[in-house]
Structures are given as structure tokens and as C-alpha cells.
Structure 1
């Protein structure tokens, strides 16, 4: 039972929290309430004890901890996938802490959250990103509510509030998709940009299986089987640059059926390349990076820029001496070679071995986007520019090096402006719907799970699989026929063989 305690000129209410532990009646800010009358103090103390017995009491001082202190303990207590932990850390450090770090939990109210969201929007961030960050804030504060530090979650949205319009304000632009012919043309251009067939096989595989990017990069040779691909692992790229080998998203382990032509394409690729074990995981992967490993910065010794400074020339001139010595004046070439000898410069700072894996940003920016749009992206200080090509043989071979634009005689038209590597996953599902494939078979290939009653009581049959393989084969042959109608051959060897045997 609560009691009143005389403190000079006022009374305060005292109540029992636990054996040997007593609390004082306080206001919302944690300050002791000073009662003028003893009876009022006793009543307030009795109400607090009743709340403890009913399980509704909350420690008034619990919300005084700052958001920064609480969120660091919250993050340390999580035990989630490396990719999820990375995303949480990025959301917290880059967007939540700058706004709320020094605020106590009880001072974070709905108006403060809405003001933060409006400010993020004014900075030009995408609505989908802001929605994700607010979702992380909501999750953190929901745990604070559960711990008794807050009475309600200030990041929760109230239904029926805010601007109304015919469509959701948070909805992003529609995803760009392409056709089977678009997949084939994009794959051909990607191979021309990289100078090898690997990207042709990879883009075709992504477009005709709907695999996620991490699943494609993490596809091991042992999981390419006769007329099937087994998805067991993915390689997820962390902010540190490490490629983390982990199960596919949502544990969507699955076997993807592939037609005979696709199986032969992958088998020929593996036979020709005989992929070695990668240095990072010690496993044989189907696809590897297309550029030398960028580890020069982590190695000791002279760099290209050091040679350029000693010789008094630009890094471009040093590169020309290494790659096209006949294009450099003899006197300049001697100066560069003397600097190389004096500094003990080792070309590339490494062995020149190709990187074990693609990097998501590098692949999308310098291979896939130029392939589907016909433009290289902006790279400061240079603006975006068309891919310079020599038009013969068709569809054109990219021109590289100095004065590439001057030596080119053509450029590419866009195939599907705005298409991304992930857009090929959308494309595959869209093609399956066009072919009339059953929803249960589509979900199985894509790696989605239908939790409805219909999904639970519908199953994939061998007849469904056979029909889909026949339809995908017809789709592929139609794309090859259309491509051959544009030109009967290709500079990409893998595609050229297919066109000649068609």
C-alpha cells in the first residue's frame, strides 16, 4: 500500500515496486510531483501500486535515455543476416542518428518524426528510401514500447491522415521490362563491352531464369546440372567490399528447370572456361569478374601515379607506354621506362589476374546500362556520352582508348532505356505470365512463396514443367530468328555459333 512522505513544505507519494525497492510519484518528465495535501500524495501512490499489480505501470524515467544510447544497445542485441545488419547500420548512422541521436526517447513525438521525414524528402531522397528508413525507426521504437520506455510508437502512421491522391505517393516508377529479343540483344552488347562471351551467357541466364543478382554471382559450377540449375547460395556484397556467401533471400532454395538449349549454352561455357577456385571462398563459380582485381591500393610499392610524377607526364601517357608503346614519342618513352625501372613499379600492383567476381555497381554501370541504353554514364568531370562503336561487323564493336569518339563511325540505339539487371527478374516473370504458366510454377522458379489457400492446395507437375520448357524454347528460337534477320552473324562467338546452326 502506498504512503505519503513529508518533505519540508510538501508531500510526495511513495509506492512499492518490488521487495525492498520503492518509487516516487513523478510527472511525465521524471520530476517528483509535490503535493500540498497528504491525502493526494497517498492516493497517487496507491494508483501507482495498483498499476504495478495490473501490469500497466511504466517506469517514468525509462524514456529519459537518449535515442543514440538506446539504438546502439538495440543494434548490438540483434542477431540477423549480415546483409540485414548492414542495412540497419546504414539507415541508423546515415539518416536516424543525425536527427535523433541526442533526443531522449520520450521527446521523440509524431511531429518530430514527420518533420524529419519532410526534411529527408526536401533533400531529394526517393520516397521508397524514406519509407524504408521510417520503417527502421518504427521497428526500433516499437521495441522501446515493448520494454516499457514509451507508451506509444511516435513513428506509427495514423490511418486516413496526410495527402490523398489517386495513387500512392510512395509508389516508385514502374519497373522497365523487355522481351526475349531484348534479353538477347542486351546480352550480345554486354559481351561486346567486356570483350568476352561470359557476359552473354550470364545475361541470358538471368533473363531466362529470373535469378537474383546475388544468386547469379554466387552460382557454383557444381550446381549447374543437366537441364537444371540448383540455387543453394548467393554472394551478397557488403559495404566493406567483402562478398558474403549466404543462403538465398528468404531461404528460397530451389531447382530451376532450363531447356536443352540453355543447358548446352552453360555446359559449353564451363567447358571453355574451366573456372578455377576463387581466392575469397575457395569455390568454383560459373561466372567471374571481367577486370583485373582492384587490390593495388592495398599493396606496397610504387603506383602508376608515382611513375607519372617522376617522369613528368600524365598517368595516361604512362598507360600508353605500357599498352601501346609505339604511339608514344621515343624520348618520352625512355623517360617513363627509366622511372619504372627506378621505382621498381610492377604493373597493376598485382599479377593481372581477373577479379573473382563482378561487383554489382561496376557491372550495372559500365556493362549493363551502356548495353541497354547505348550510353556510358556520367563520370565527373566527363558528362554522359554515347558508346562509340565501329559499325562493321554488325551490331558494332566498341572503340576504346584516346579519341575513341573520333575513330568511331556509329553508336547504339537504346534497347530498353531504364532497364536494370533486377529488371530482368521482372522481365522473366512477365514472360512466364505471357506464356500462361501456372502461378505455382512461376513462384517456384522465382523463389517466392504463396501463403494463400490456393497456393497450399496447388502443386507443380511434370506436365507443367515440360510445357514451360517447350514454350521457353520456342521463345528463344523466335528471338534468335529475329536476331538473324537483323544480321546473319555476330562478333560474339557464342551467339555466332547459335546463329549459324539455326
Structure 2
């Protein structure tokens, strides 16, 4: 049984926790309770010892561990995918520790969490804050399981402390586009990069719905005669390292492809002759492109060739062996060099092993879709300056680009992102009335409903979807032909000329 201990000016209660270990009656903050009488101290000690014997006793000092100390211990105990560990680390270091690091777990109240969330919402997107609160809830829920606190102060109570309606968490609607929009964005991205790779990649994303990491991590060996096999993805960590890992939610799948799309893939492989990368030793279908931090690398040889209407080899001859080129061609190339402000080495950049997510989205895809370069200190957001011909106008780069430009691009789908093409693909399939089971398989989603278990994909379903995708692709080429019958992007120009022959 418990006993009372005389401390001179007060009594304290003592009780047995285990053999050779005794505890002192304390309050919720872990402070020793000072009793006025021996009887009160004895009764409180007996009550605590009864809890020990009944298995309901909790150490009153347990909740005094700080959130920062517990979060460090919690993070070290996790064994998750590198991408998940990176996200948890970012949430903790950038948003949770600055607020709660030195707070004792037991001192964190629901009102504290709500006040923190309110301040975060004033600075960041509601969806991001919701994610960070989810991480906080996860950490504190494990603290409850460890019996350090009695309840989780980050638990959401439905409808409490909110205004009515759903508009509080409402974000902007996801921007999607149509088949012609996919084609035009792909063409512009290729013009910005100066190569055909981006055209093939954007079209692939728009017509397969593959995730970004799955396209970056698409290995040559998984290109099939009529499909792509999704086995891996490359996830870019904050350190700049690419983690080769399974697709999200283990969504291994085979994505059926129409004949015209597989031809684009085989042409890409034949044209680029990909080699194994140094980081993984795997041969990937796409290789990254080095881009300057400002997004403008200066005019390239390919830009000069497009301006002059000649091959890059001819431009090289004009620069290095002008005697082998006719005078008329030399004049045309030199005029293009002057117009574009081309200098030797001005467009030379080191080829990256893989696309960087921010570099591709910021300096290739976003300008292609919106017609504007984003704000990047010290420069403000600005339209992409272009030449007037050949249509749709090659980007003018380098110093004084705006003064040398003839025009600028108009938006195709302002606000469209690479992930928006995934939404676009799902939306187009909905328009075809594609069976949900087939859509889920293609997108890498899981439907655990009974209806899904009793539905199966047939060959006819697959063929109908591929036929619909082919119809839309041909319609987009026809619409592009109606604008201009040629393209400075070689792979698209070949497709357009082939379409002209088919229609004749």
C-alpha cells in the first residue's frame, strides 16, 4: 500500500511502481502535490498504487517530453519510402518544429493546434496546411499509443469552429485541355528545348495519363509493341538525387497504346540512341536537358537552322567550313545568326541525366502552355518572345530578345501543369464512356468496391479506347494542319506531312 512521507512543511504521497521503484503523487504537469495532512497524502498514494496494480497507471511525467525530442525519436523509427521520409522531414522542419519544438507534449492543446493552422492558412494553400496537420496528427497519435498523452489534440472535430459550407477549403479548379491543346503544348515545349524529346514526352503524358515520375523513370526495356509497362519511377529528392522506386501505391500496370503512339516511342529511341545513366546504370527513354537558372540559354544552333530553313549540319558548315556551302545559303544562315544574336557556345549546356521536375515545369511546360516565362528574380514574368516564322514562331533568346522578336505566344491553357495532363487524359476517357475498371487500370488507381470486383476488362473495351484515342489524335493533327501545314519541330512536321498524304 501507499504511504505518506513527511517533508517538514508538507506531506507527499509515495507508492510502489515495481520492485525497488517508487513514485510520488504528482499533478498533470509532473509537479509533486504537497498535501497538508498525512491522511490526504496516504489516500492519494493508495489510489495511485491501485492504478498500478490495475494496469491503468500512467507516468505523470511522461507528457513532459518536448515535441521536438519526441518528433526526432519518431522520425528515426520510421522505415518508409525515401519520398515519404523526405516529405515528413520537410513538414516537421519547416512547419511543425518552429511552432511546437519546445512545447511539452502534454501542454499542447486543441486550441493551440487550431491557432497554428489558422496562421498557416493565411500564408499557404489550404491543401498544404491540411497535409501538414495530417503529419502532426500522425506524430501525436503515436504519442497517444506510447501513453505519453491521453488524447490527440490534432484530431479534427467535424463542423466545430468552422463557418458553414465547403468554400473554406476550396482551391482553384484543375486546368485541363483538349487534344489540340496537348499537341500545341508539345510543339512549343519542343521549340523551347530545341529537340524532339519534349514533344514525345508531352504527347505520351497526355495520351497515357502516366505520372511524371513514371515518365522520367521509363526504361527502354519496358517499351512494348503495343503498350508501356510501368514498373518503376524516378522520384527526385530534395538533395537532387533520383530515387528509383516502385510506382505510387505499387500501381504496376501495362498501359495500352495505339499504333501511332508506339511509333513515336520507337522513333524516339532510334533517334536518340539512349545510353545507360551514370546514377542507376539503366537505359531510360528520355534524358534531361540542361537549362540555365534564368530559363534562357541563348540562341542555339537548332534555332539558327530553323530560322534559316536549313539543317543543323549546314549551320555547322557555315561556321566551320563556309567554303563547302553555297553563297545564298551562307547569306541566309548569317542573317539568321544576326537576327537571333547567336554566339558560339551561347546555347551549350551540359545534358542532365534526367529531367528536373522544376526545370521542366517552370521553363518548358509552363511557358508552352501559358505563353509566359514565370517570374524569376531579377526578372518579372514576361511573354515568350518569338519569331514570326516559321509558325508557331521559335523562341528568341539571349540579350535583347524582346527587341529582336517579331511576336509572342498567346496562351493555350493558362494554369495547365504537367499533372494537369493526367487529369486531361482521365477527362477524355470519361467522354468516351470508357468503363471505370479500364480507366482505373490505366491511371494506376484502385477501386475496392463490390461493383469493381464483379467487372472485368475485355479485349473489345481496350480496342474501343485505343480507337477513340486515335480518332482524337488524327483530329488534332488535322486541326494543326488547318493552322499551318508545316512545323519547325521535325517529328511533328513528319507527322503533318504524313497526314497530308493520307488525306489526299
What TM-score, normalized to structure 2?
Answer: 0.86
Residues 84-123 of structure 1: pairs in structure 2 closer than 5 A: 84-122=84-122
Change (3 A) 1:408 1:455: same
Q: Deviations over 1:406-438 (max 9, x none)?
A: 111111111100000011111111111111111
Residues 129-208 of structure 1: pairs in structure 2 closer than 5 A: 129-208=128-207
1:404 maps to which residue?
A: 401
Q: Deviations over 1:57-98 (max 9, x none)?
A: 211000111111111111111111111111111111111111
Query: CA separation in 1, counterparts of 2:33 and 2:206?
Result: 68
The reply on whether 1:433 has 2:447 as its aligned counterpart is no
Using the TM superposition, give the Cα deviation of residue 394 of structure 1 relative to its aligned residue in structure 2, in angstroms: 1.2
The question of whether the paired residues in 2 share the 8 Å contact of 1:11 and 1:37 is answered with: yes
1:14 maps to which residue?
A: 14
Using the TM superposition, give the Cα deviation of residue 478 of structure 1 relative to its aligned residue in structure 2, in angstroms: 1.1
What TM-score, normalized to structure 1?
Answer: 0.86
Query: CA separation in 2, counterparts of 1:353 and 1:109?
Result: 53
Residues 157-306 of structure 1: pairs in structure 2 closer than 5 A: 157-291=156-290
Change (3 A) 1:41 1:421: same
Residues 339-358 of structure 1: pairs in structure 2 closer than 5 A: 353-358=350-355
Using the TM superposition, give the Cα deviation of residue 469 of structure 1 relative to its aligned residue in structure 2, in angstroms: 0.9
The reply on whether 1:418 has 2:415 as its aligned counterpart is yes
Query: CA separation in 1, counterparts of 2:247 and 2:257?
Result: 19
Q: Deviations over 1:217-241 (max 9, x none)?
A: 0000000111110111111111111
Query: CA separation in 2, counterparts of 1:352 and 1:452?
Result: 51
Q: Deviations over 1:417-471 (max 9, x none)?
A: 0000011111111111111111111110111101111122222222211111111
The question of whether the paired residues in 1 share the 8 Å contact of 2:291 and 2:359 is answered with: no
Query: CA separation in 2, counterparts of 1:453 and 1:18?
Result: 52
1:471 maps to which residue?
A: 468
Give the match's secondary structure for 2:15.
strand
Using the TM superposition, give the Cα deviation of residue 391 of structure 1 relative to its aligned residue in structure 2, in angstroms: 1.9
Using the TM superposition, give the Cα deviation of residue 11 of structure 1 relative to its aligned residue in structure 2, in angstroms: 2.9
2:323 maps to which residue?
A: none
Query: CA separation in 2, counterparts of 1:434 and 1:127?
Result: 30
User: 41-50 vs 67-76, which deviates more?
Assistant: 41-50
Query: CA separation in 2, counterparts of 1:63 and 1:383?
Result: 50
Query: CA separation in 2, counterparts of 1:54 and 1:415?
Result: 70
The alignment covers a number of residue pairs equal to 452
1:361 maps to which residue?
A: 358
Query: CA separation in 2, counterparts of 1:194 and 1:102?
Result: 49
Structure 2: gaps (5+ residues): 294-318, 321-333, 336-344, 500-504
User: 219-228 vs 148-157, which deviates more?
Assistant: 148-157
Using the TM superposition, give the Cα deviation of residue 181 of structure 1 relative to its aligned residue in structure 2, in angstroms: 1.1
Q: Deviations over 1:214-269 (max 9, x none)?
A: 10000000001111101111111111111111111111111100011101110111
2:58 maps to which residue?
A: 58
Give the match's secondary structure for 1:365.
helix
The reply on whether 1:484 has 2:481 as its aligned counterpart is yes
Structure 1: gaps (5+ residues): 295-323, 328-346
